[in-house]
Amino acid sequence: MTVTAQSQTPVSTTWHRLHPLWQGDETEIQTGLPHEQLSPAWQILLLGDGSPTRHLQLLTREPTEVDVIDMSPIGMNRDRAPGQISAIPGPRLRRQVWLRTASGQRLAYATSWWEASHVDDYLQNRSLPIWASLAQLRTELYRDIQGLYYGHSQALEEAFEQPGPFWGRHYLFWHHKRPFTLIYEVFSPYLIQYLGPTG
């Protein structure tokens, strides 16, 4: 089923954007951060261009599963998203998920924005992590990290059952030299037990 949206569709649900205490741009992403600000292990997770779903599975030694909590047509609404949303043709669809272990521990939160008419091309099984869906399709892609965040979210504190602040990022996925989705991710401090302290 393809989701369509009118250009003026009101957006009825919200997504969990961090209220940043600090944020970095392409300069920090390219050079990396001082290790006292963000440890090397956390920098590999946040600034590396590999699949976070795969990384989480390797860390926890459990399958990473997805709880889809929102699939909303948003039309041409900018949705308080990072500015790179303009690279995704509209009308758009917003998808929100929890990434968790098979045993139920929430590890990350992600929001992604898609061209509504093409979302089914990439997410044929919407309950799978994006990485798993694209791997099944043998899709070649490039993860272009655009922003890094350290900040608070009351909703995420409650959902992760962990106090903030949290580290997050946003990036574009490119395929055939065109961006096809914008993704905003926030990671739970629960990962400290695998990666060590953040800084």
Residues 6+ apart with CB under 8 A from 28: 148
For residues 184 and 70, give the distance between their C-alpha atoms in angstroms, rounded to a whole number.
Answer: 14
Mean pLDDT computed over 76-104: 94
What is the gyration radius of the CA atoms in the chain, in angstroms? 16
Of 176 and 121, the one with more pLDDT: 176
Q: How would residue 106 be classed by pLDDT, with cut points 50, 70 and 90?
A: very high
Within 13 A of 130's CA, how many CA atoms are on the CB side?
26
| CB of 199 closer than 8 Å to CB of 37 | yes
Mean pLDDT computed over 92-101: 94
Task: Name residue, tokens 């800084």.
Answer: 199
The 8-class DSSP code of residue 190 comes to G
pLDDT at residue 124 in the model: 53
| CB of 85 closer than 8 Å to CB of 79 | yes
pLDDT at residue 52 in the model: 85
Q: Mind listing the pLDDT tens digit for each residue in 140-164?
A: 567 889 999 999 999 999 999 999 9
Tokens of 13: 């649900």
Tokens of 40: 């090397």
Q: Mind listing the pLDDT tens digit for each residue in 30-60?
A: 999 999 999 999 999 999 887 888 899 999 9
Task: Name residue, tokens 């905003």.
Answer: 184
Residue 197, Cβ neighbours under 10 Å: how many?
10
pLDDT at residue 49 in the model: 81
For residues 160 and 59, give the distance between their C-alpha atoms in angstroms, rounded to a whole number.
Answer: 17
Q: Mind listing the pLDDT tens digit for each residue in 119-141?
A: 766 565 555 555 555 555 455 56
Task: Name residue, tokens 């309950």.
Answer: 127
With 0-12 / 13-18 / 19 or more C-beta atoms within 10 angstroms meaning exposed / middle / buried, residue 7 is exposed
Q: What is residue 22's three-state secondary structure?
A: strand
